[in-house]
Each structure stands twice: as structure tokens, then as C-alpha cells.
Amino acid sequence: MHMRELTKYLASGNHPNLNILDVCSQEEFAAGHIPGAIHWPLTAMNVGKFPNNKLETYYVVCRSGGRSKLAVAQLKKEGYMAVNVEGGMLAYCGPLAY
């Protein structure tokens, strides 16, 4: 999925329980992130300790899409349903939270 698609979906308002997992660094996350995103930095990611439900889908974002791709591979290996959001926050043009 590309960030353009996710941005459109978020703008539609049809996402009451969308799970966005942000694997950016603390500094990148603090500089602005998608409202409601779960912050789980890739550098600190220990998938075995990921506290969330394996039955839900996680849309994984980072700054540009590289780290999120790695995180998705790790999550899928552990049985999570995860989708890499290509383009990352550099392609995001919606509202930000800080």
C-alpha cells in the first residue's frame, strides 16, 4: 500500500480502529506523526514483546518506507498481519500529531 492510499483512507473518516504502527526514531516521531499511531521504534522492536493482537492488521510506517519494510517482515514472521506503507511519512500530507 502506498501512503497516498492510506492518506485518502484516513481522510474518508471510515477508520474507527485502524492500527498504524510507526517505527520511526523517537526524534522523527516527535517531529510529527499520524494521529493515533502506535510508536514502536524499529531499533527497539522486539517482536516477541509486541503487545498487540495478531488477529488485527497493522499498517507500518517510517520516514521513507525502508524500515517499515523490515518491520513488516519481522512481524509477519511472528504471525502478525502487517502491511508496509510505501513512501512513508515523506509522502504523507494529512494532519500531524506531536
Query: Bigger pLDDT: 33 or 46?
Result: 33
Catalytic residue of the set 62, 71, 83, 89: 62
For 8-29, the pLDDT digits (tens) are: 888 888 776 789 999 999 999 9
In order of start, what are the domains of the chain with their CATH numbers? 3-91 (3.40.250.10)
Q: Rounded to an integer, what distance in angstroms lies between the CA atom of residue 18 and that of residue 36?
A: 9
pLDDT of 48 higher than 70: no
pTM of the predicted structure, to 2 decimals: 0.90
Instruction: For the chain, give the mean pLDDT.
Output: 90
**DSSP β-bridge partners for residue 75:** none
Active site residue 62: yes
